[in-house]
Structure 1
């Protein structure tokens, strides 16, 4: 049995589900795109190939194994994009919450049944239908749960709006001893302005540091709350171009080890100056689908 344990984003990782790019299917048609960045690459003829994405994910998998992490992979579904395992479920403390995601992606949950079967049934939560939530919007951080959301009346018109107000209430009810802090995110059809998930514009790191992008937040006070919480001197503020490149979507294996994209030179240099070990992997092709390293992982156990 797997004894789930996730209290934060950075404690030493012991077990994780890493998505797979195998049999990820043909390039989607424009009307099938889930997000504006994918659409951009579909229209430009630069959408990533399965071969390149498999190579990138294997590089990531090898880094995780180098640090002794148990790496689970989904069963391969034919012609199905299963890269972003963070979307389908997430863990807080000893509970795994199955996301209510876009209906056409529900079969991705079936592909990790071999993992779910190793978790006690009472520790798997199925939120009611009206609760829309994806793991990219949810960050356990000790006594807090940070949640990215969108509560605009036009929620239903935004394919990029993934986590609603009901999800915030649901998490408050499930984890009454935690402070659930929600942040309104900027949703846009323009990929350079759209914060698809909270981890597209914010990422807490070890040693009290964090990555932030101001324009990803709709409410300046909420952005300012995070600046005050971490301290301005501990924050790496990214530009809109860097948000578009997914600079905040790095992944911590431990408080001092961060996996990052190899082209993120400005960020990676800063991380090293702060005392982090930076494990660089090629992930530029996968990033064309508006997701990166954190999006590809579903952490199950951290020390």
Structure 2
């Protein structure tokens, strides 16, 4: 009998801002659902979370592969991803990439489309737990497949746990009312030591998803806290970002119950409504002393810099036009204080 492969790779995420050592960095593939997959009212509701000046692009791309429909814009998208990867390399972060989707996987999406652009949501790392998520949008439910090679080669042989949230119930978006799912998406999951915040707006993660995570992590000593969000906020990281211990960027109007009590004594950098809609809280700490954001958020970056933090700027407007920024594009495998 063959002995299982053993790896010395470290799989562990201590917090949102512990030094980033190994990260999985997303590809740039997207075909949005066809307009026929939504009712007119549901289409208006779903597009409503995108900044107003970007909604015409989303409408134009419905049912189309971005690279085919807008090849020049696709090149710009890939260029901004390359610029971000260069910053990660600058700080000696090991970068792993998911593979591209196969034609079979693309075809399987049918009118729902497909996605392979925001690796934060389909799976996530909490401590030494690597968890495949359960996504609300049908076009994203196969997105995790592009990372399975990484799971096989890097996660399974390493010390740690690998599990998956149960598959969600099958029902149209216009009648699911945000649940029950269970849905649990990585954009809603923020890690702070043994305390995990889970956002809940009705658009992504649900109570059943949070309950699953709570039961999974309780034996490891974790506490899971649900953070209710206003329905115009997709994920928790669209309203709140932990920059370092004691410092948070936050769009407080997006949090139904305000800043969680655990963070009540933290210093806050307020984010305005327009900034939040454009993903101003979705920067990425590379460490407690380095933070990445878009030059569109220079005001926020200047406030972060006042705390002795080096701010790196990368133009990320194409990614942001799809509703995701720096945190959405990355999935840490190893974040840990030495």
Q: TM-score, normalised by structure 2?
A: 0.77
Deviation sequence 1:77-106 (CA, Å, 0-9, x none): 256431100011000011111011133323
**How many pairs are equivalent?**
281
- Residue aligning to 1:206: 244
- Residue aligning to 1:82: 116
2-side partners of 1:135 and 1:31: how far apart?
27
**Alignment partner of 1:57 out of 78, 81, 96:** 81
- Residue aligning to 1:279: 312
Q: Determine which structure has more spread, i.e. the larger CA radius of gyration.
A: 2
CA contact (8 A) 1:9 1:139 kept: yes
2-side partners of 1:128 and 1:81: how far apart?
20
2-side partners of 1:17 and 1:89: how far apart?
11
Deviation sequence 1:223-269 (CA, Å, 0-9, x none): 36366241xxx100111111011110000111110011122110111
Instruction: Please say if 1:24 is aligned against 2:30.
Output: yes
1-side partners of 2:256 and 2:248: how far apart?
19
- Residue aligning to 2:332: 299
1-side partners of 2:320 and 2:185: how far apart?
18
Instruction: Please say if 1:145 is aligned against 2:187.
Output: no
- Residue aligning to 1:228: 264
Instruction: Please say if 1:10 is aligned against 2:17.
Output: yes
Instruction: Please say if 1:268 is aligned against 2:301.
Output: yes
Structure 2 gaps, min length 5: 1-6, 38-42, 107-113, 168-180
CA contact (8 A) 2:246 2:265 kept: no
Structure 1 gaps, min length 5: 156-160, 188-193
SS at match of 1:61: helix
Deviates more, 1:250-259 or 1:163-172: 163-172
Instruction: Please say if 1:66 is aligned against 2:93.
Output: no
2-side partners of 1:41 and 1:73: how far apart?
30
- Residue aligning to 2:185: 134
Deviates more, 1:79-88 or 1:275-284: 79-88
Q: TM-score, normalised by structure 1?
A: 0.85
